[in-house]
Structure 1
Amino acid sequence: MAQWYQTWNKPLKNILWWLVIIGMVVSLPLAYTRHQTETSANQVEFVFDYRDLLDISDIQTNPRTFVAEQLKNMKAAGISSMAVYESTLAELKESRRIEVYNSRDAAALTQTLGDPNENFTYVLFADSATQQKLEPLIQKTFADLKVGTKPWSFKNRNGLIIQMSMDDASIKGMDPDPMTLQMLKDQGFQIVVRLSNRRPFVTNEMDRLLKQLHDIGVKRIIVDGNEVPGYTEENTEINLNKMADLLNKNGIGLAAIELLKEPQKGFSTLSKQTNYNVVRLHSFTEKDGEKLTEPLKKSELQDRIQGVADRLVLAVKDRNIRMVFLNARPVKSLDKGKLVDPLAAYYESLQGKDGAIPRIQEVGFKLGPAEPFDVKTTGWQKIARIFILLGGVSLIVLMVSFFVPEATLLLFVLGILGLAALHTLSANLYAQGLALSTAISAPSIAIMLAIRSVRSGAAAKWKSGLAYALWTLIKTSAISLIGVVYEVALLNHVTYLLVLQQFRGVGVLHLLPIAIAGVYLLFFSENNTYRDKIANIRSILSSFISVLWIVVAGVALAAVYYYLSRTGNEGQASTLEKLFRSFLENTLGVRPRTKEFLFAHPLFLLGAYLSVRYRHAVYLIFIGVIGQLSIVDTFAHLHTPLHISLIRISYGLVFGALIGLVLIAAWEIIIRSWKRWVPQLSK
């Protein structure tokens, strides 16, 4: 039995490599369908929060004139849509459509003695046309809440008495203001409605509302709050299915707000039931806008305006954003002695020098209502799954075989059986687990092969250190890209493009390949027996710890901490580095990753060059694992278009190689100068 096992185990590595290659080849059509999907929607919609415009107008001398002027300015700046909320008495008051009083103020207004036991809300309409539109809306809203209303008038102006306190009544949600909707439509704006789950979900009422919105041209809603309309504690699935049916019936889609602290409850279900009629939305918040109202020098303000433009371009181009939502609010400026707002700065960031909109159009996007991705599929996917499973397991087993080659066959069989079982339990967990495992395995194998080339003496046989360095960088990066192909093929679903699903465990990718390659370099890269390896481990563990070791360990931990602080969406960067990043982005169109082209790739190239003559240069090659895992990690940002990621890693390799050549030239100059001048100085 043992002999039979060895007979099959020895040649299995070559077979595994062929399975990896076959799996990679059959995965390429799936990657292409993803490219087709993410390039199928190229319209970008700029939306402004109409409620914020009302807030700003409320501090102006002529509020209605101000709103009319700003709507024209927004249209000219490329803001083609306005976001309208479910109306409230407070918002209708801000729109100057009604006046609202409590019982005490109403008594003072009418110069009568009020009832001390009454705390009602008194509403006066601006004119008869407003009354005709809004009175039925207000009466119905409070009737549904079982709150009484009755007519009231003052000086030939009609109104209502609502038997509820003004503070409470002012925040009760109603249908969006029909007069505002019609006014915005007449001025040529596309309307985006923000719907909440604050009112009870009634199917007939929601159907009526969505039909009204459809008739006025609404194509998309943005959820206002933490729950989608229809999300309830009981019968949630039934209500969400009803809400989805109503959205589908009226041709209305959703917008997914990026970077929320918590996903909106029910959003994933509603997205699926609407066949992913969803676009990604980037929110430029009121707090972001306040930075443009601070007391700044002209040059500083221009830098911030340029920063806003860069941010919006990056969102659209690099993160599949198709809707940009702009918010603003008035700010008290004690330095200027007046109330200010960021609207003028917004217009300049959109259409001024190096403005966002012209740059977005230059890279192939158009302004217009945001459209969902046209999801492309292929019948090849079912067949490809088998080869992806075989190839993915083969890649993982090949990585483990660097440490335990005798277990290759056993691990391959167990891997196939285990992943097949996992797929039956959870297809999503299977896809993410296999994708993460292949993403870790590929750069680990790539670096371990480079280390083996030096340890085995193969590097020393090359006549040209430069040729060996360039070839090793190309070969190592190509092997790392194998993991990219599997990662993209396994997570080839629109939910990842829309970030409705997250690729879990990516943080492990930032450290595990470093640990794997480090263990291999220290204990397994030499061609010795397991007894020798164990002896080496015992020798290291029983060594006396010197102050130098503690210092080195401290520096290493600091380096790891710094590396982790720079990784992921929460990574920190200095102001100078942000300026450098902006320069690269604006100059190249796509910014290469700093740790690749300024650090990992150059050191890898220098290490490969030196390893032809110096075996200890292998430690510089080991540092290159950061660049290799970064290549794979770049594609783990699944909301970034594939072609952007390809350009990014290509720039990283090209510029990294150029900087590496500079390091090699500097090394040669230093060494030759040393050899030339040191002997003369010793005479």
Structure 2
Amino acid sequence: MSKQKWLWGIIVLLLVVSSTGIMMRWNAEQSNDSYEIVIPYDEIQTVDKNSDLTMDEILSSLKEAGLTTVSLEPLTLKEMEKQNLITVYKENDLAAQLLFTPYKDAVDVTKSGSYIRVPENTDYQKLIKDSVEPEEVQIGEEAFYFLPTSNHNFDLKTPIGYDQPAIDMISKHGLGYVFKVANADNELANNKLVNQLLALKDGSSGRLLGQGDEAIGFGQKKGNQLVEKLSDAGYYFYTIESNPLKGESKIAQITDYNMIRLHSININRQTKLKLNESIDRTTRAVKERNIRSIFYHIKTTGNAKENMEQTIDYLNGVHDAMPDHFQPGEPKLFDKVAVPAWVKAAVLLAGILFTFSVSELIKWMPLRIAAAGFMTVLAIAYFILKSTLFLQAFALIIAVLAPTYAVIKSAQGSTKMSKILVQYLKAVAISLIGIVIVIGLLNGNAFMTGFATFKGVKLVYLIPIMGVLLFTLIEMNRLADQNIKKSLSNTVTLLNKELKYWHVLLLIVVAGIGLFYISRTGNSGSVSDLELAFRQWLENTLYVRPRTKEFLIGFPFFVLALYVMGINRKWGSILLVPGVIGFLSIVNTFTHLHIPVAVSVLRTLYSVSLGFVIGLVFILIFKFGYRWVSKAIARWS
């Protein structure tokens, strides 16, 4: 057995031994099987106010349809006035109303502030007194709370606490509730809000969702202490997908990444979002992105009763479409994924050896040793400095090298299907080794919840293509083992060669693939309605859809490239350029670390299988086209 095979054997052995880390993540993801749908209480109130339905009827209908949770915003005096829970007067306005009464001098207009008529409900009285600590004023038979303008800690828009009657109403219908928390302008207001949350804590109300642009305590000296108090009391926080709050990453660190991922569906903003699209988006978020909370907004324009019916259709549709192994209920935190240091060390060693093996393409030992040495430095720096940045850099290099090496190393052309299959599986295996190294390193709750990420996705899309393109140019120009002068001579000779029709056809196909690939890379690419329908059909049929650029472009063209190289190695190597797309794409699939490993494995299995079958179809088409073009050229000549 050659030294290179022994090296690969050691790499595989190290990855097998260190697989406990990946299995911990797998188990944590598979056991997290509860999801919730949250609707804000103020939007439910809108239906109550604008229809003949009572709050009891609305909550009962929503619960029956599958609603699990209601969110509650902290009240402000302004919001309480809007809901007719209190009446607020400015000092001049109240004085004007009392001008022709026996109490015309009861209001001191020289003291600027707001007079709040004492509400009848004792819960609201307690809320205002405990939070704002107003002066109590009696004017005739009416009692008022006075909030002076000089009180800089509270004004009419400062969050003061939560609506206890609303909490009682929600609990009465067996629904859970989430407290939305805003970051007040001052520490006193935040402290009082936290104290009320601690008093309200029970087994069903331990969840907090940030409101506005800042997480609670952000920018304040004792902000971390507030978070620690809430966490110690049993509260945990949500993180909104693609909409992080300022200071939220600090909360994640303090709470050891005990966070729930939430996805928001707001049909008031996304007016073109149809009901079935909302349902599909919800099920996809839960099963494919480790999201366990969906925040759904009731439509607030138009007929309130019809909006309610649409919401019920959405809830029923979600629970019907959701895979059976997910159950509606209170979302769970991920089990702790604490990867031992020796596991990380084994994966890093595998990565160092992988880099040395891959660098055989260079065929210059000093450079190979330097490459492995650089990776060793990154590994040592990680253990000394405890910085994830070194792991991310290490993983990026592996993610770039794996697909590049997989394609180049397996580029052994043949017209025999058995040999093509062997080389295809070889390329897949090399890519998978790189993938296992990447996800073995970037493992843990920080990555699963999306606070730590893989860095350099664009480079994974670009560098392997450039590497394979360079390999293709070397093949085309016969640069291997030749000096620069001869290389230039070969290039001139190539440009002077007679161009054949099938050369042009091949170049047009490759250029078309390249343009299509560039237009579809990232989130901004356009997708036709027909393709959207095809994607959804694939997802409904296969549970998770394989990526189009893998099973329809990358893998089939790699299979075709191997076949064409068996006929003409130079021109077949051109097809390796679109062929590498499949391999870099599966690496990229696994670098989306918030996606469950099981989903990525299934998606890749589909892509690899379908890609090979479609590649065989490409070969048949090529054979037919090649014969037709050859006969046509013979006829024309």
Do both share a fold (TM > 0.5)? yes
Structure 2, gaps ≥5 residues long: none
In the TM superposition, residue 663 of structure 1 has moved relative to its aligned partner by 2.2
Q: 1:356 aligns with which of 290, 301, 318?
A: 318
Which residue is equivalent to 1:580?
Answer: 534
Identify which of 187, 208, 232 aligns with 1:249: 232
Structure-to-structure mapping, 1:257-276, within 5 angstroms: 257-260=240-243, 263-276=244-257
SS at match of 1:321: coil
How far did 1:610 drift? 2.7
Report what 2:128 is aligned to: 138
- Whether the 8 Å CA contact 1:45–1:324 is kept in 2: the answer is yes
What is the CA distance between 1:486 and its match in structure 2?
A: 0.5
Distance 1:239 1:91, change over 3 A: closer
Q: Does 1:220 align with 2:207?
A: yes
1:366 aligns with 2:327: yes
For 1:233-244, list aligned pairs within 5 A.
Answer: 233=220, 235=221, 239-240=223-224, 242-244=225-227
- Name the structure 1 match of 2:611: 656
Q: Which residue matches 2:179? A: 193
Residue equivalent to 1:592: 546
Equivalences for residues 171-570 of structure 1 within 5 A: 171-202=157-188, 205=192, 208-215=195-202, 217-233=204-220, 235=221, 239-240=223-224, 242-260=225-243, 263-285=244-266, 287-288=268-269, 290-291=271-272, 304-331=274-301, 342-351=307-316, 355-360=317-322, 362-377=323-338, 381-412=340-371, 414-423=373-382, 424-451=384-411, 453-454=412-413, 459=414, 465-523=416-474, 530-532=481-483, 535-536=486-487, 540=491, 562-570=516-524
Please identify, of 551-560 and 468-477, the stretch whose mean Cα deviation from structure 2 is larger.
551-560
Residue range with higher mean Cα deviation, 573-582 or 217-226: 573-582
Q: For residues 207 and 224 of structure 1, do their structure 2 counterparts lie closer, same or farther at Cα, with a shift above 3 Å needed?
A: closer
Within the alignment, does 1:32 sit opposite 2:23 as a pair?
A: yes
| Amino acid in the other structure paired with 2:11 | V
Q: Would the aligned equivalents of 2:517 and 2:549 in 1 still touch at CA under 8 Å?
A: no
Question: 1:281 corresponds to which letter in structure 2?
Answer: L
**Are the counterparts in 2 of residues 444 and 513 from structure 1 also a CA contact under 8 Å?**
yes
Distance 1:375 1:611 in 2: 49
- Report SS of the residue matched to 1:370: coil
Cα distance change, pair 556–682 in 1 and its aligned pair in 2 (3 A): closer
- CA distance in 2: counterparts of 1:599 and 1:406, whole angstroms: 36
3-state SS of the aligned residue for 1:280?
strand
Deviates more, 1:556-565 or 1:28-37: 556-565
AA in 1 matched with 2:576: I
Distance apart, 1:416 and its partner CA:
4.8
Distance 1:629 1:432 in 2: 17
| 1:570–1:371 distance in 2 versus 1, CA, 3 Å | farther
Q: Secondary structure at the match of 2:261?
A: strand
Shift of 1:21: 2.3
Question: What's the TM-score once normalised by structure 1's chain length?
Answer: 0.81
How far residue 587 of structure 1 moved from its aligned partner, in angstroms, is 1.9
Structure 2 letter corresponding to 1:432: Q
2 CA distance for matches of 1:150 and 1:410? 83
**Alpha-carbon distance change, 50 to 341 in structure 1, aligned in 2, over 3 angstroms:** farther
Aligned equivalent of 1:79:
67
Q: Secondary structure at the match of 2:454?
A: coil
Contact 1:305–1:346 (8 Å) recurs in 2: no
| Structure 1 range deviating more: 534-543 or 12-21 | 534-543
How far residue 186 of structure 1 moved from its aligned partner, in angstroms, is: 2.1
Q: Contact 1:248–1:274 at 8 Å: present in 2 too?
A: yes
Deviates more, 1:595-604 or 1:465-474: 465-474
In structure 1, what residue type is equivalent to 2:346?
F
- Measured at CA, do residues 16 and 537 of structure 1 come closer, stay the same or move farther in structure 2, by a change above 3 Å? farther
Moved more, 112-121 or 24-33: 112-121
User: Where does the alignment leave 5 or more consecutive residues of structure 1 unmatched?
Assistant: 1-10, 293-303
TM-superposed deviation, 1:524: 6.4
Task: Tell me the CA shift for residue 647 of structure 1.
Answer: 0.8
**Corresponding residue of 1:5:** none
Q: Report if aligned partners of 1:330, 1:341 keep a CA contact under 8 Å in 2.
A: no
Give the 5 Å matches for 1:611-630.
611-615=565-569, 616-630=571-585
How does the TM-score come out when normalised to structure 2?
0.87
> How has the CA–CA distance of structure 1 residues 537 and 69 changed in structure 2, closer, same or farther, with 3 Å as cutoff?
farther
Measure the CA separation in 1 of the matches of 2:614 and 2:110: 81
Instruction: Count residues in correspondence.
Output: 621
Sort the Cα spacing of 1:562 and 1:672 in 2 relative to 1 into closer, same or farther, 3 A.
Answer: closer
1:210 CA displacement:
2.6
Does the CA contact (< 8 Å) of 2:474 and 2:480 recur in 1? no
* Structure 1 Cα separation of the partners of residues 93 and 193 of structure 2: 36
- 1:365 Cα shift? 0.9
Q: Select between 536-545 and 42-51 the one with higher mean Cα deviation.
A: 536-545
For 2:492 and 2:381, locate their aligned partners in 1 and report how far apart those are by CA, in whole Å. Answer: 38
- What code does the residue aligned with 1:373 have? F
Give 1:209 shift.
1.6
Partners of 1:142 and 1:538 in 2: CA distance: 85
SS in 1 for 2:237: strand
Paired amino acid for 2:355: I
For residue 79 of structure 2, what is the aligned residue in structure 1? 91
Is contact 2:565-2:573 (8 Å) kept? yes
Identity of aligned residues (%): 27
Q: Secondary structure of 1:287's partner?
A: coil
Change (3 A) 1:419 1:89: same
Cα distance in structure 1, aligned partners of 2:321 and 2:83: 35
Name the aligned partner's letter for residue 568 of structure 1.
G
Amino acid at match of 1:443: P
1:635-672 per-position Cα deviation (integer Å, ceiling 9, x unaligned): 01111111111111111122222222222223334455
In structure 2, do the counterparts of structure 1 residues 377 and 61 end up closer, same or farther at CA, with 3 Å as the change threshold?
Answer: closer
Counterpart Cα distance in 1 of 2:535 and 2:263: 20
Q: Once the 2 structures are TM-superposed, how far is the Cα of residue 430 of structure 1 from its aligned partner?
A: 1.7
Question: Match of 2:170, as an amino acid?
Answer: L
C-alpha distance after superposition, 1:531-586 (max 9, x if no partner): 4356425764999899x999999998886565344223444423332222122111
Name the CA distance, whole Å, in 2 between partners of 1:56 and 1:108: 37
| Cα pair 2:337 2:445 within 8 Å, conserved | no
Distance 2:523 2:3 in 1: 41
Q: Which amino acid aligns with 1:84?
A: L
Q: CA 1:682 to 1:358, structure 2 compared with 1: closer, same or farther past 3 Å?
A: closer
Distance 1:71 1:100 in 2: 30
The one-letter code matched in structure 2 to 1:357 is H
